[in-house]
Amino acid sequence: MIRNKMSNTFSHSAEASILQPETKLIGNLFFLLAVLLAPDFTYLLCILVVQVVLAIVIKTPPRTCLTGMKSFLWIIILTAGFQLLMTPGEILWQWKVITISREGLWHAGFIGMQLLQIIFSIQILLLNSKPVELAAGFGRILQPLQRVRIPTGELVMVMTISLSFIPIMMQEARDIRQAQKARGALFNTGSLQKRLRAQLALLVPLFSAAFRRADDLATAMEGRGYIPGQPRTSMYETRLQKADYMLLTISICLFLSMWIV
């Protein structure tokens, strides 16, 4: 399950890479704000239409997108259900202690829609970018903060590296678990004490592997001239292109139209 989700997250469609990661992040931010601050249903529906069109234009794989969203379905249902039952107001239907009000119905629908669109928006972002790229883009957005002595370069380096080490560490965890099963360790049966012990047996070698990696990595990075806090250049020049400007314009206009209409 986790493995599937990860491989989805790490997948990449080349078409979307015409957009710079900064644009994707900022565009997404405006979409999220627009959804969160939306005054009414009509506005929400307008955003949804734009989202769907965008998703199609940048060729988001529809099946993966839907499967990804399905795993969040119960959160949406739970939240909407809570709103439905807990909002007081003009009573439409009643059975014993359970009452459903007109306001409750409206709230449930509205919040459900908002959640759905937030998840949709984030799905589009993740399915069309590599995590490492996003981390780099995030770093460039935060770059001005370096003036006030916030080490954004280092933060981004840490993010980037953790992301590229996740698949390796997951493989390692699987290998260790297999090896311990081969020695008769039980992970899901036996007393609580036995299970805790089995988990500990997994964690110790995993941590020692992580430390060994960290040590090698630090040596390698130092050896390749990385000095924390020193300026670096990038192989890729960030040049915003037509597509970037279009996306930014659309998302900002959409956000601002909230007050105009």
Partner 1 sequence: MSLTAEQISFAYAKQEFIIKNLTFSLERGEIVGLLGYSGSGKSTLLQLLKGLLQPVKGFILIDGQAGRGKEKIKRDVGLLIQMPERQLFETTVYEDVAFGPQNMGIPKQECQERVRASLDEVGLRYDSYKDRSPHQLSSGEKRRAALAGILAMRPSYLLLDEPTAGLDYEGRQRIMQIVARLKDQNIGILIVSHHLNELITMADRLLVLEKGKVVLQGKPIEIIEDLESYFFAGHGLRPAREVLLGLAKHDLSFDSTSYTPEEIAEQIRNRWEEKG
Partner 2 sequence: MIRLQDISYIFSNGYSAINQLNMDIETNEFIAVMGRNGSGKSTLARLISGLLLPTSGSIEVDGYTIDKLQNMQMIRRRVGLLLPSPDNQLIAGTVEQDIAFGPENLCLPSQEIHKRVDAALAMVSMEDYRLDPPNLLSGGQKQLVCIAGLLAMQPQYMVLDELTSMLDPLMKKKIIKTIKELHQSTGISFILITHDLEEAIEADRIVLLEGGSIKVSASPKDLVTDINLLESQGIQPLDISIMTKILNHSPGMNLSPGLKYPKELVDEVCHLRLNK
- Quick note: the x/- pattern for partner 1 over 156-175, rule CB under 8 A, is ----------------x--x
Q: What is the DSSP letter of 187?
A: S
Per the DSSP assignment, residues forming a β-bridge with 95 are 98
Under rule CB under 8 A, residue 205 binds partner 1: yes
Which token pair is 237?
A: 């020049």
By CB under 8 A, how many residues form the interface with partner 1?
18
Contacted by 222, from partner 1, partner 2, none: CB < 5 to 8 Å by type = partner 2
Spatial neighbors of 144 by CB under 8 A, at least 6 apart, are: none
Under rule CB under 8 A, residue 85 binds partner 2: no
* Nearest to partner 2 of 140, 195 (CB atom): 140
Under rule CB under 8 A, residue 161 binds partner 2: yes
Which residue from 119, 127, 122, 124 is spatially nearest to 9, judged by alpha carbons?
127
Under rule CB under 8 A, residue 206 binds partner 2: no
Site for partner 2 in 96-155 (CB under 8 A): 130-133
User: 142: buried, middle or exposed (CB in 10 Å: 19+, 13-18, 0-12)?
Assistant: middle
Under rule CB under 8 A, residue 186 binds partner 1: yes
Under rule CB under 8 A, residue 5 binds partner 1: no
H/E stretch holding 67 reads helix 62-70
Under rule CB under 8 A, residue 42 binds partner 2: no
Q: Which stretch binds partner 2 (CB under 8 A): 21-29, 62-70, 106-114, 221-229?
A: 221-229
Contacted by 176, from partner 1, partner 2, none: CB < 5 to 8 Å by type = partner 1
Determine which residue in the list 184, 223, 225, 229 makes contact with partner 1, applying CB under 8 A. Answer: 184
DSSP per residue, 78-141? HHHHHHHHH--SSEEEEETTEEEEHHHHHHHHHHHHHHHHHHHHHHHHHHTS-HHHHHHHHHHH
Q: Report in angstroms how near the CB of residue 124 gets to partner 2 at its nearest.
A: 20
11 conformational bin, left if phi > 0, alpha if psi -120 to 50, beta if neither: beta
- 20 contacts 128 by C-beta, under 8 angstroms: no
* Nearest to partner 1 of 203, 240 (CB atom): 203
Determine which residue in the list 5, 102, 174, 212 makes contact with partner 2, applying CB under 8 A. Answer: 212
Handedness of CA 77, 78, 79, 85 (dihedral sign): positive
The site for partner 1 (CB under 8 A) is made up of 172, 175-176, 178-186, 200-201, 204-205, 208-209
